[in-house]
Structure 1
């Protein structure tokens, strides 16, 4: 779960979510829409931050990318698969 917490911390820092802690973000919850409520601008910023911190290449505007960005858990799986 260490990677999950790193991703949560990255989301909070990169998007300046002042009133949110890593405990507030559920690993399986949606990051966009009804979940955490992120939007497409947030997705771009988060994508850049993930690329920088984890050295992972992310395809823009692909259906696979949307699936990877669904939740913290799906992002963690994607990052692990890219680093393997």
Structure 2
């Protein structure tokens, strides 16, 4: 799942305009919110939209399950891998 984790790190950086951070700076197992990367609820909404656009996944904004998926890059990658819609391109 490492290529997907790399894609998600790049998506986090681009969708949240984190100019001073490189993908290698993000620990895939580290928390994304509060400690770790230090994202907030607005970042979660923006990231959720970016994931929905890119991978066709859908998450409920107030779900405890969604909070679990946003725990780390690894958790997001596992969620995306299990729920993404097949690519329409061949």
TM range (shorter): over 0.9
Moved over 3 A (4+): none
Give TM-score scaled by structure 1 length: 0.97
Structure 2 residue matching 1:42: 3-state secondary structure? helix
Superposed CA RMSD in Å reads: 1.0
* Secondary structure in 2 matching 1:27: coil
Higher Cα Rg, which structure: 2
Counterpart in 2 of 1:41?
42
d(CA) in 2 for partners of 1:80, 1:60: 19
Query: Where does structure 1 lack aligned partners over 5 or more consecutive residues?
Result: none
Q: So what's the TM-score if we normalise by structure 2?
A: 0.91
What aligned pairs does 1:5-44 form with structure 2 within 5 A after superposition?
A: 5-44=6-45
In structure 2, the gaps of 5 or more residues are: 86-90
